[in-house]
Amino acid sequence: MSRVRPAAGGGRWVEVEPARMAGWLERFAARHGGSSARRTDTGLFVTGADGGTADCQLPLGWPPETTGEPEAAFAAAATYCWRVGLLLVRRGAHAIGVADGERLVVSKVDTQYVQGRTAAGGWSQQRFARRRDKQTRESAEAAAEHAARVLATDPPPEALVPGGDRAMVDAVLADKHLERWADLPRTALLDVPEPRAQTLIDAAKRYRAVRVLLRDA
């Protein structure tokens, strides 16, 4: 487990690596005196004999044709190898890739200059703001054009994994070059540092973690 953090409304969020999910469920049952589980639209809801609960959420929901007992089916679903498009964007930099499971199969990383300093007030401030807005639009357009080329793989991505600055990601996804992928399922936005090649590799692993909301009895 990693990235333990408090949850709004009580409890705490933890992240579990896909390969560890089966063992994690067994240990949860042992800690809580046994457990029962039911399948949900996004994952698995587990209730311990002592009243503690674990709401386990798959990043992309259930893969197709997943059957069997709830715990075993969920553990298998957690390790399913989705083919995803990675779209990591911040102002002035982007990293685009396609991954099968954790394996990055194609990628493109680039930077665009965007002025970062605030100028003085008055007309200078207005000119600075216009110039910076123009540079930001050009950065988003470049990311969208690169994404359109990178994502055009065979087979195509089944889902998108966005990361970075939300406003920049939204601007890229709204670009006409990405209309073909507009309706793909998406994971939650990843908080990533400056997009680089290593950032892509890390994101291909991180997005697959199962998020679990734990609440005590």
Stretch 98-102: mean pLDDT: 96
pLDDT, tens digit, 9 for 90 and up, residues 51-60: 999 999 999 9
CB 155 within 8 A of CB 83: yes
Q: Provide the 3-class DSSP secondary structure of residue 128.
A: helix
Which range is least confidently modeled, 111-125, 136-150, 176-190?
111-125
Stretch 81-85: mean pLDDT: 97
pLDDT, tens digit, 9 for 90 and up, residues 32-44: 999 999 999 999 9
Report d(CA 195, CA 211) in Å as an integer: 23
Cβ partners under 8 Å of residue 198, min gap 6:
none
Report d(CA 79, CA 22) in Å as an integer: 10
- Report pTM: 0.85
Domain ranges of the chain: 2-81+208-215, 83-206
pLDDT, tens digit, 9 for 90 and up, residues 113-128: 444 555 555 446 666 5
Q: Pick from 99, 96, 197: which is nearest to 147 by CA?
A: 96
Judge: domain 83-206, CATH 3.40.50.1370: no
pLDDT at 74: 97
Which range is least confidently modeled, 16-25, 64-73, 123-132?
123-132
Report d(CA 67, CA 106) in Å as an integer: 32
